[in-house]
Amino acid sequence: MRSSCHPRASAPPLTRIVRFCTGPMPRPVQNVTHRCWSAPARVAFVTQLIVDVESGAAAERVAAQIWAEATARRDGSEPRDAAQTLPGVRRRLELDGAALLVARADGVPVGFAIVAPRTSSLEVFYLAVAPRAWGGGVGGVLLAAVDEQAKALGHSSLELWVIADNDRALTVYQRAGWTVTDDVQQTGPGDDATIERRVVRHLPD
């Protein structure tokens, strides 16, 4: 994701943005603010998948652990210690107006996103799903919560940067209504450089 940042200013914290449910439900879930649908059979044990805006050291460590696991699975490498990914998570959360959205399945963390407002859009700096929850629709739920966050902040445009050959992520974004652009950027030096592609979304009125 993009490496530019700017000092964080105080902003009123946002509370729960969106609440979803998946899997068979014995009765309607109360206070569901968006939508509920049946999940694939392999995650049918999930009774509630809830996305909340969270803060504090514990939530930051949760995000760092999920990022370490997800990127290791993506790259086919050994998982890094969460202590190695925590500084990056905290750096993004220092951005002005940044928010950490955590998805929990029956209370267990399964994904997260970090977003922050830019001049004319809301940018997604991190979005990851724990590998054990891949294929269960968690990414789509997080992106819907990002939409709600954008609306709450008065933004209709969203953007993010993703590794150009990360086909799994690109598919998730496109299914959620995002558009892959021709804009690319290179991050990292020399042989460690990564090519990222810009992905955008404009919320309907």
How confident is residue 26, by pLDDT bands cut at 50, 70 and 90?
Answer: very low
Which of the pair, 192 or 197, is modelled with greater confidence? 197
The answer to whether the CB of 23 falls within 8 A of the CB of 38 is yes
Across the chain, which distance is largest between two alpha carbons, in Å? Answer: 56
- The domain locations on the chain are 18-155
Q: Thinking of the domain 18-155, which architecture would CATH place it in?
A: 3-Layer(aba) Sandwich (3.40)
Q: What is the CA radius of gyration of the chain?
A: 16
One-letter amino acid at 45 equals F
The pLDDT tens digits of the residues spanning 90-140 come to 999 999 999 999 999 989 999 999 999 999 999 999 999 999 999 888 999
pTM here is 0.79
Residue 171 confidence (pLDDT) above 50: yes
Q: What distance in Å separates the CA atoms of residue 79 and residue 115, rounded to the nearest whole number? A: 24
> Quick one: tokens of 98?
């940044």
Q: What's the rounded Cα separation, in Å, for the pair 123 and 114?
A: 9
